[in-house]
């Protein structure tokens, strides 16, 4: 099955800093999503981005499907950005979403 790797596993930033999170996947995918898991466990949808580039406020994402990776950019980070960021992918002809192990982000005031 598809393997999903996220990097870095842990990231500590000072408030106001920028960061880039990476998601590599081992096979072609039809679906790709980025989520933020808050301290209460809720998974918040950030982007549905099987290809191309999207932006939403301070966050943006780019997926290069042909090279099997996606990037999540966080600019001017805030303490509320802390949590775990997951990448999830779904392959062709399957409903199965496979999750990476996540990037744990802590933003310090």
Partner 1 sequence: DGGITQSPKYLFRKEGQNVTLSCEQNLNHDAMYWYRQDPGQGLRLIYYSQIVNDFQKGDIAEGYSVSREKKESFPLTVTSAQKNPTAFYLCASSPSQGARDTEAFFGQGTRLTVV
**Interface residue list for partner 1 (CB under 8 A):** 30-31, 33, 35, 40-43, 45, 48, 86, 88, 90, 93-102
Counting every residue written for the chain, the total comes to 109
CA 25/CA 37 separation, integer angstroms: 20
- Minimum gap (Å) between residue 49 Cβ and partner 1: 10
Least Cα distance to 88 among 96, 104, 99 occurs for 99
Instruction: For partner 1, give the closer residue by CB, 13 or 88.
Output: 88
> Least distance in Å: CB of 67 to partner 1?
22
- In this complex, which beta carbon is closest to partner 1, that of residue 89 or of residue 107? 89
Examine residue 8 and say whether the peptide bond preceding it is cis (omega within 30 degrees of 0). Answer: yes
Considering beta carbons, is residue 62 or 102 the nearer one to partner 1?
102
């Amino acid at each position: 099955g598809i393997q999903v790797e996220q990097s870095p596993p842990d990231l500590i930033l000072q408030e106001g800093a920028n960061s880039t999170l990476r998601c590599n996947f081992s096979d072609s995918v039809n679906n790709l999503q980025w989520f933020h898991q808050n301290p209460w466990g809720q998974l918040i949808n950030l982007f549905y981005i099987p290809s191309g580039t999207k932006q939403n406020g301070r966050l943006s994402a780019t997926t290069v499907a042909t090279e099997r990776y996606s990037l999540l950019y966080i600019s001017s980070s805030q303490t509320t950005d802390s949590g775990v960021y997951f990448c999830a992918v779904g392959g062709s002809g399957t409903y199965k979403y496979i999750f990476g192990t996540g990037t744990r982000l802590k933003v310090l005031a």
